[in-house]
Amino acid sequence: MRPEVRIARRYAKALAEVLPDDRLEKVLKEVEELLKIFNEKALKYFKSPVVPVERKRALLEEILSKVEISPELKKVLLLMVQRNRLGLLREFKEEFESFVNARLGIVKAEITSATELDEETLNKIAKKIEELFGKKAEITVKLDPSIIGGFIVKVADKVLDASIKTQLENLKKAIAD
């Protein structure tokens, strides 16, 4: 794990631990909204060792005065800027989302398909993922015509590749051997 991810994880864990379950998703949405404000240029500014911490803090406070966020998140952000870590906001969001999903029993799944999948198929896949992982499945779908047909499901660190492209490659290897 990269050092910046490890650092971001500490802040994300601290925030997740002080929030009750019923507020986790709301605060996650707030972090996502903040990331829309903090583009790459802004994150570089907050990462810069040349810019004094006082100026970074003043800018953050100005931004936070214009948006409505929970006091817990505000406290963590001010701590991050004070310790010159606000440039890790993207990593912080990813880590916080992981803690939120773990606490709420949600597993993220990504389905890659050559064509649009109908609702019934998506529901069957979601139900199977929920059975296997014992958690609620949140599915995102990507289209990739290069897989020819079938689909690829990625959940956590597991991949189920039921694409025709992979089946053809495996057949080609089997024939070559």
Give me the pLDDT at residue 176, please.
86
Residue with tokens 């929030």: 19
Range list for CATH 3.40.30 in the chain:
105-176
Q: Does domain 105-176 have CATH number 3.30.70?
A: no
- C-alpha angle 4/10/11, rounded to 5°? 95
Give me the pLDDT at residue 83, please.
95
Q: Which of 12, 2, 3, 4 is nearest to 92 (CA)?
A: 12
Give me the pLDDT at residue 161, please.
87
Give me the pLDDT at residue 166, please.
87
Range list for CATH 1.10.520 in the chain:
3-102
Residue with tokens 């029993």: 105
The two tokens of residue 72 are: 């817990």
Give me the pLDDT at residue 97, please.
94
pLDDT in tens, 45-90: 999 999 999 999 999 999 999 999 999 999 999 999 999 999 999 9
Give me the pLDDT at residue 150, please.
84
Give me the pLDDT at residue 110, please.
94
Q: Which of 32, 44, 40 is nearest to 94 (CA)?
A: 32
Give me the pLDDT at residue 157, please.
79
Q: What is the pLDDT along the chain (177 residues), one digit of tens a residue?
A: 789 999 999 999 999 999 999 999 999 999 999 999 888 898 999 999 999 999 999 999 999 999 999 999 999 999 999 999 999 999 999 999 999 999 999 999 999 998 898 999 999 999 999 998 889 999 999 999 998 888 899 997 788 888 888 888 888 888 987
What are the φ/ψ torsions at residue 68 (nearest 5 degrees)? -100, 115
User: What number of other Cβ atoms are within 10 A of residue 142's Cβ?
Assistant: 11
The two tokens of residue 43 are: 């994150």
139 Cβ neighbours under 8 A, 6+ residues apart: 109, 110, 111, 122, 125, 126, 129
Reported pTM: 0.75
| Radius of gyration for the alpha carbons in the chain, expressed in angstroms and rounded | 21
Give me the pLDDT at residue 158, please.
86
Rounded distance between C-alpha atoms, residue 133 and residue 97, angstroms: 18
What 3-state class would DSSP assign to 148? Answer: coil
CATH architecture of 3-102: Orthogonal Bundle (1.10)
